[in-house]
Amino acid sequence: MDRCGKRKEAAELTEWEKLSAQLKLIESENTRLKMEIDFLKKLKEVERRR
């Protein structure tokens, strides 16, 4: 059966692919946290103006 467009099973991934996937997850989490910090800073600034 053709598995085009399907994810590989975890056991089929090479060490490089596993590390690459882990890096992408960490980078996206880092981006999300930066956005959260920026939002909280802006919220604090708006609340100070009141």
| pLDDT interval class at 1 (50, 70, 90) | low
What six digits make up the tokens of 31?
């981006």
Please tell me the predicted confidence (pLDDT) of residue 10.
Answer: 72
- Compute the average pLDDT of residues 16-38: 98
- Compute the average pLDDT of residues 12-28: 95
Residues contacting 17, CB < 8 A, separation 6+: 8
The share of the chain scoring above pLDDT 90, in percent, equals 72
31 or 4: which carries more pLDDT confidence? 31
DSSP 2-46: --TTPPPPGGG--HHHHHHHHHHHHHHHHHHHHHHHHHHHHHHHH
| Closest CA relative to residue 10, chosen from 2, 19, 18 | 18
- Compute the average pLDDT of residues 29-45: 99
Please tell me the predicted confidence (pLDDT) of residue 11.
Answer: 77
